[in-house]
């Protein structure tokens, strides 16, 4: 049966091809941090869905409220990436039948309270159990949002050109190490910072996404223009304590904003540092690649990013 094993990236390419020719109300098709729909005559709705698989994205023995919280925060980070503002969430959960009532209520509290804290009430969903005991739980969260600014503008991943700056909020690396273990479970989604940057930079804020798989991998996702690649400067990467530049751009699960902009961004926004870490360029051989200038060398870091097939729980200790 398994003559063609599952590959998430192959499947995403396949789904992308099938996601064309959608009705005109689909203003942004699948492929960005969120899709956008035209609702009625003027309103625009952003929507995304993401899941937390126990044993894959969090440890099996993690606290249920922390799992619920992470499931919502990941989606809120997608909202931030579009410079949008959340309005509601829905959640479905499939639990092992040997979970108890208290565990399920704590999971619900994590979803409900995290949503409310960001003005995104939990308004629906479904609960089911697996047919067999000891089958890992799956939590799926859908989030609805609206453009965050007065002008209705949202920021996609597309449009970065040679000469544009690449910047990042906060500090990177170590979210899954022993010391930084809690960070991938509880982080501040950069919603207000993204809306403020969008209001300040306007058309000069060209493209944006959130860093989930590490800058080394995610930066390539902003290099969507033909012939354009990214050059990072190792000395400028803002690092969490104990992280060298490799782990800072490779660890993933940072949930910071990765920004392509046409002019210098402010050095901080609402107290959160904004650091220029590189530049888009179109020189021979750089198209779609991410290079870093480090120790006098130019190193291709495509292999450093977070592998979707990997298991973060392997790396937590």
Q: Which of residues 125-144 bind a second copy (CB under 8 A)?
A: 125-132, 135-136, 138, 140, 142, 144
Q: Does 16 bind a second copy (CB under 8 A)?
A: no
Under a CB-based contact definition with an 8 Å cutoff, are residues 205 and 261 in contact?
Answer: yes
User: CA triplet 235, 241, 245: central angle to 5 degrees?
Assistant: 30
For the stretch 153-178, what's the b/e string if a residue is b when 16 or more beta carbons lie within 10 angstroms of its beta carbon? bbbbbeebeeebbbbbbbbbbbbbbe
How many residues comprise the chain? 317
Site for a second copy in 18-57 (CB under 8 A): 18-19, 22-23, 25-26, 29-30, 34-35, 37, 39-40, 42-43, 45, 47-51, 53, 55-57
Instruction: Output the smallest distance, CB 116 to a second copy, in A.
Output: 8
Site for a second copy in 72-111 (CB under 8 A): 87-88, 90-92, 94-95, 97-105, 108-109
Instruction: Output the smallest distance, CB 78 to a second copy, in A.
Output: 10
Under a CB-based contact definition with an 8 Å cutoff, are residues 108 and 76 in contact?
Answer: no
Site for a second copy in 279-298 (CB under 8 A): none
Q: DSSP secondary-structure letter at 32?
A: B
- Whole-angstrom distance, CA of residue 19 vs CA of residue 35: 11
Among residues 186 and 311, whose Cβ is nearest to a second copy? 311
Among residues 49 and 161, whose Cβ is nearest to a second copy? 49
- Whole-angstrom distance, CA of residue 110 vs CA of residue 131: 25
Nearest to 301 by CA among 225, 250, 228, 266: 250
Among residues 17 and 263, whose Cβ is nearest to a second copy? 17
Instruction: Output the smallest distance, CB 50 to a second copy, in A.
Output: 5
Q: Does 316 bind a second copy (CB under 8 A)?
A: no
Site for a second copy in 142-201 (CB under 8 A): 142, 144, 146
């Amino acid at each position: 049966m398994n003559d063609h094993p599952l590959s998430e990236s192959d499947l995403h390419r396949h789904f992308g091809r099938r996601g064309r020719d959608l009705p005109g109300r689909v203003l942004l098709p699948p492929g960005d941090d969120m899709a956008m729909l035209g609702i009625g005559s003027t309103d625009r709705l952003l929507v995304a869905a993401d899941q937390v698989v126990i044993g894959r994205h969090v440890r099996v023995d993690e606290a249920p409220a922390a799992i619920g919280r992470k499931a919502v925060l990941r989606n809120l980070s997608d909202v931030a990436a579009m410079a949008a503002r959340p309005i509601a969430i829905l959640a479905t959960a499939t639990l092992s039948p040997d979970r108890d009532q208290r565990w399920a209520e704590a999971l619900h509290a994590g979803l409900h309270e995290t949503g409310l804290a960001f003005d995104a009430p939990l308004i629906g969903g479904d609960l089911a159990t697996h047919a067999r005991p000891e089958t890992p739980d799956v939590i799926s969260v859908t989030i609805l949002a609206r453009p965050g600014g007065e002008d209705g503008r949202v920021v996609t991943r597309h449009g970065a050109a040679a000469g544009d700056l690449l910047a990042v909020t906060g500090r990177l690396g170590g979210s899954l190490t022993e010391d930084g273990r809690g960070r991938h479970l509880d982080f501040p989604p950069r919603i207000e910072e993204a809306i403020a940057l969008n209001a300040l930079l306007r058309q000069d804020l060209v493209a944006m996404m959130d860093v989930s798989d590490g800058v080394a991998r995610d930066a390539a996702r902003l290099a969507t223009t033909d012939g354009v690649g990214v050059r990072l400067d190792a000395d400028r990467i803002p690092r969490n304590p104990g992280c060298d530049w490799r782990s800072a751009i490779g660890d993933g699960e940072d949930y910071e904003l990765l920004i392509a902009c046409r002019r210098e961004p402010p050095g901080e926004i609402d107290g959160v540092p904004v650091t220029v870490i590189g530049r888009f360029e179109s020189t021979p051989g750089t198209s779609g690649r991410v290079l870093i200038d480090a120790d006098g060398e130019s190193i291709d870091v495509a292999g450093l990013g977070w592998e979707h097939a990997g298991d973060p729980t392997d790396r937590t200790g």
